[in-house]
Structure 1
Amino acid sequence: MKRYLLLLLFAFTFTVNGQTYLSARVVAIKDGDTVVVLDSLRTQTTLRLAEVDCPEKSQAFGARAKEFTSDAIFNTTIEYVVIDIDRYGRAIAMVYYGADRKYLSAEIIRAGMGWHYKRYSNSEELAQLEEEARAARRGLWIDDNPIPPYEWRKN
């Protein structure tokens, strides 16, 4: 039985360039940048998306950011890499989805549904995607002065 469980676990993990990718089904969307997954061992894990900060639920575009994430990955199997654990015990993860393995954080930023979280990411690609979304006034960038979630949370 133990051997079977280990084989099952390894069937849903793989390593590329020294990074361990996990596979799980998305069972809940808490908000635009936080999801809950269920793995092959029926363990639920809360994932906080890396490199992106979406509006809070009560903030302008908070519901739309959640809807964007839900439309992209709810009830699908994703692949993810855990890069850290936050102070709330959530796994901070880089999430990939779809046949072409889109990077969810990049797609959120591209659609104007979140900020590139520069405090925790120095990705030039994500910074460029945010600039493009701002210039095109996509999503939350339609507002003249959107309030970043980290500032919103201070109030």
Structure 2
Amino acid sequence: MKRLIATAALILVPWLASAQNQTLECRVVGVHDGDTLTCLTAQKKQLKVRLGEIDTPETKQPYGTRAQQSLSALVFGKDVRLTVQDTDRYGRKVARVYQGKTDVNAEQVKSGSAWVYRQYLKDKSLLNLEAEAKAAKRGLWALPEAERMPPWEWRKADRDKRQAQREGTATYTPPVKDETEAADVFNCSALKACKAMSSCAEAKYQLQHCGNTKIDGNRDGIPCEALCR
């Protein structure tokens, strides 16, 4: 059994590695933001691609539109080569993208159109490109510091804001007390007149549990009709 497992592992590991480092060629037919595009293979298969190891400003962030324009200038309508690193939870291919000899991911960082996405970083040379762009105040690095929020922090802040708005608009509906709970609130220590009742619930309790029939003058089972009608 151990030998079978070892053999299976020898077969599976290279297969997984090749699947992650798959190379694909396609033509870019859409650019959605600074790090996401759609391309079409020769077999007419449409692929959604997320540029790996980088993160660009969201569309609503400062420089978001400029980052999208930068990527579009590099790849839109052109043939590209993808080195696939992964498939994300949205089904997008996460890849390094090359247009001719241009490393598009690196070019987005170099032009100041993207941050290095440190959480998923594999190629540490991208950090040098980011440092150079920052020192030269290229692209987003020319913005005031207050406007240069990394997109992963911006997305978290946006999620927190929407959550707070949802919680702020929620209304609280108090639970309806059942008869057991009513017994904890009302008692039969005194038989009250209707004008002394605090609510219809108390009147019903007095009638049903205390035998206070005086508050049901017409004997229809509804006490203190001014309260309970």
Listed as ranges, the matches of 1:112-151 within 5 Å are 112-145=112-145, 146-151=148-153
Residue 3 of structure 1 corresponds to none
| Corresponding letter in the other structure for 1:76 | K
Q: Pairwise CA RMSD of aligned residues? A: 1.1
| Corresponding letter in the other structure for 1:154 | K
Q: Kindly indicate whether residue 27 of structure 2 is the aligned counterpart of residue 25 of structure 1.
A: yes
Q: Deviations over 1:37-84 (max 9, x none)?
A: 000111101000011100000000100000000000000000011110
Q: Which runs of 5+ in 2 are unaligned?
A: 1-17, 158-229
How far residue 134 of structure 1 moved from its aligned partner, in angstroms, is: 0.5
Under a length normalisation based on structure 2, what TM-score does the superposition of the two structures give? 0.58
Residue 152 of structure 1 corresponds to 154
Secondary structure at 1:123's aligned position in 2?
Answer: coil
Preserved CA contact (<8 Å) 2:51 2:105: yes
The percent identity for this pair of structures is 41
Residue 6 of structure 2 corresponds to none
Q: Equivalents in 2 of 1:53, 1:20: separation in Å?
A: 22
- 1:36 corresponds, among 19, 38, 53, to 38
Q: Equivalents in 2 of 1:69, 1:123: separation in Å?
A: 20
Secondary structure at 1:153's aligned position in 2?
Answer: helix
Q: Equivalents in 2 of 1:84, 1:144: separation in Å?
A: 34
Preserved CA contact (<8 Å) 2:32 2:68: yes
Secondary structure at 2:125's aligned position in 1?
Answer: helix
Q: Equivalents in 2 of 1:124, 1:41: separation in Å?
A: 34
Residue 48 of structure 2 corresponds to 46
Under a length normalisation based on structure 1, what TM-score does the superposition of the two structures give? 0.84
How far residue 151 of structure 1 moved from its aligned partner, in angstroms, is: 0.4
How far residue 143 of structure 1 moved from its aligned partner, in angstroms, is: 1.9
| Corresponding letter in the other structure for 2:152 | Y
Secondary structure at 1:108's aligned position in 2?
Answer: helix
Name the one with the larger strand percent: 1
Q: Deviations over 1:4-40 (max 9, x none)?
A: xxxxxxxxxxxxxx64321100000010000000001
Q: Which runs of 5+ in 1 are unaligned?
A: 1-17
Secondary structure at 2:67's aligned position in 1?
Answer: helix
Q: Equivalents in 1 of 2:22, 2:113: separation in Å?
A: 28
Preserved CA contact (<8 Å) 2:22 2:85: no
Listed as ranges, the matches of 1:82-101 within 5 Å are 82-98=84-100, 101=101
How far residue 142 of structure 1 moved from its aligned partner, in angstroms, is: 0.7
Secondary structure at 1:119's aligned position in 2?
Answer: helix
